[in-house]
Amino acid sequence: MRIDILTLFPEMFPGVLGASILGRAAAGNFASYHLHDIRDFADNKHRKVDDRPFGGGPGMVMMCQPLVDAVNAAEAEDDRPATRILLTPQGKPLDQPLVEQLAEKPRLLMIAGHYEGVDERAIEQLAPLEISIGDYVLSGGELPAMVLIDAIVRLIPGVLGHEDSALEDSFAARGPDQQRLLDCPHYTRPREWAGREVPEVLLSGDHQAVEQWRQEKMLERTRARRPDLLP
């Protein structure tokens, strides 16, 4: 999968994209990340990419021309059609089914806005999918873009070491009814720590009993913490 990222702050990304699973995915050619500085597409010598809002009010608005030129230049770098995404609090709330849909795409282009937002005419022109990572406001779309990239890239087949890992996550669709539950608790050595024991069934070697215990814990936790996820 090719991922293009359009931002005014490209320096925010290399640490996150270079470490852990996202770094390994790039090293193994499962994903490639392409950063584009929107400011490089300013048409004035001051490299100005924002201006004051018509109608007045505080803050600045990102101008149409540098953003749309940046999208066109980025898209021309590769033949594959890009699914355009704008990260915004006004977008569709991100959930695991949406992440799974996006993980199937050959190419994503993410736009991270800043200041008060982007001129609405650029949004109409580009017609991106508008996505929100939750009901709160951040100073830019960069962190939401990184969240979305992480959620997507770990689902690309081959990226997680253990091929079943993603099937066992919280929110993974499980069983005949494709139910999405919270994950169960996990334990590792030692068997006793600070007077706390690992649940006996996990030491029993009885795989069917372990599976049944995990399923019960997932249901119990989901009922207690996120009853909205249950039918």
Residue type at position 173:
A
88 binds ligand 4GO (CB under 6 A): yes
Range 84-121 burial, b when 16+ CB lie within 10 A, else e? bbbbbbebeebebebbbebbebebbbbbbbbbebbbee
Q: Which stretch binds ligand 4GO (CB under 6 A): 42-50, 85-93, 119-127, 171-179?
A: 85-93
Specify whether 81 is catalytic.
Answer: no
By C-beta, is 66 or 141 nearer to ligand 4GO?
Answer: 141
User: Is the CB of residue 36 less than 8 Å from the CB of residue 75?
Assistant: no
132 bridge partner residues: 93
Question: In the window 112-131, what residues touch ligand 4GO (CB under 6 A)?
Answer: 113-115, 117
Residues in Cβ contact with 204 at an 8 Å cutoff, skipping those fewer than 6 apart: 210
By C-beta, is 145 or 159 nearer to ligand 4GO?
Answer: 145
By C-beta, is 94 or 103 nearer to ligand 4GO?
Answer: 94
Sole binder of ligand 4GO in the list 127, 137, 194, 224 (CB under 6 A): 137
d(C-alpha 43, C-alpha 118), whole Å = 17
Specify whether 69 is catalytic.
Answer: no
66 binds ligand 4GO (CB under 6 A): no
By C-beta, is 106 or 134 nearer to ligand 4GO?
Answer: 134
d(C-alpha 58, C-alpha 72), whole Å = 30
Question: Which residues carry out catalysis?
Answer: 89, 116, 154, 169
Q: Which residues bind ligand 4GO (CB under 6 A)?
A: 87-89, 113-115, 117, 132-134, 136-138, 140-141, 144
